[in-house]
Amino acid sequence: MLNLPIYLAMTGFAVMGIGAMVLPMRVTAQFDIPNLTVSGKNEIRAVYGGFGLAMVMVLLIAIEQPALRAGILLAVAASLGGMAAGRVISAFVDRTIGKWPLFYLLLEIIFSSLLIIAI
């Protein structure tokens, strides 16, 4: 049970990473960006795809290497917290937040909290 939050986060990052690699325009379509240039697809694959898959790998290391667990979980939780903070700041500046950004904000808060608890 102690690793369940890590496995849940790994699943979320895997879905994000694979989805971005395979269907980058589906990622941006959620945010009202229906078309991408070749460079735009590259950016989505790198930032959402590569980052998501890298998080899967480091979370797997956190499970396999107990000495590294706390540092890895704290770093991943902080990255999720940073994304959530960026969404909150954006919502404050723009005075609104769309349904998908709100959905991801909640996921980021939940997964960040679960990883902190799993330390």
- How does the average pLDDT of the chain come out, rounded? 96
- For 33-43, how does the pLDDT look when each residue is reduced to its tens digit (9 = 90+)? 999 999 999 99
pLDDT (tens digit per residue) in 92-104: 999 999 999 999 9
pTM: 0.91
Sign of CA dihedral 111, 83, 86, 26: negative
Average pLDDT over residues 1-25: 95
Assigned token pair, 105: 């904000």
pLDDT for residue 115: 97
Rg (CA), the chain: 15
Q: Compute CA 94 distance to the chain's CA centroid, rounded to the nearest angstrom.
A: 22
- CA neighbours within 13 Å on the CB side: how many for 104? 19
Q: How many CB atoms lie within 10 A of CB 45?
A: 17
Could you give the CA distance from residue 28 to residue 35 in angstroms, rounded to a whole number?
8
Q: In the predicted model, is pLDDT for residue 1 greater than 90?
A: no
Q: Give the pLDDT confidence score for residue 71 in this predicted structure.
A: 98
